[in-house]
Amino acid sequence: ETGVTQTPRHLVMGMTNKKSLKCEQHLGHNAMYWYKQSAKKPLELMFVYSLEERVENNSVPSRFSPECPNSSHLFLHLHTLQPEDSALYLCASSPSRTLAETQYFGPGTRLLVL
């Protein structure tokens, strides 16, 4: 148990649906991250939040909309996705964005867009 939970674990959605991914960390960390992991490709950083403020947005399409209501929760709102958005979406947290400590990852949400 890493202290980072993600729901749902699996999600199938059509291109016209709207859904949300949820991440919760119980570690008292101040930084949270969304990553995308596609088959046979490296993890791609999508968004970084530090103390509830978005500090990174790596050219992610607007059909992905993050939300961080407090330091323990992070959401990724999805709408009008494309089949190429099918991937494993991983949430992570760390004590601080800038310190040398490791990030702690959740188990991920496996997303399939039809």
The contact set with other proteins (CB under 8 A) reads 2, 4, 6, 40-43, 45, 56, 90, 92, 97-98, 100-108, 110
**What is the closest distance, in whole angstroms, from the C-beta atom of residue 65 to other proteins in the complex?**
21
User: Quick one: 78 or 90, whose CB is closer to other proteins?
Assistant: 90
- In the DSSP assignment, the letter for residue 62 is T
Q: Which one-letter amino acid corresponds to residue 25?
A: Q
**What is the closest distance, in whole angstroms, from the C-beta atom of residue 107 to other proteins in the complex?**
5
User: Quick one: 5 or 80, whose CB is closer to other proteins?
Assistant: 5
**Interacting residues of 1 by C-beta distance below 8 A, sequence separation 6+:** none
CA–CA dist 87, 95 (Å, integer): 26
**What is the closest distance, in whole angstroms, from the C-beta atom of residue 60 to other proteins in the complex?**
14
69 closest CA partner among 8, 5, 24, 28: 24
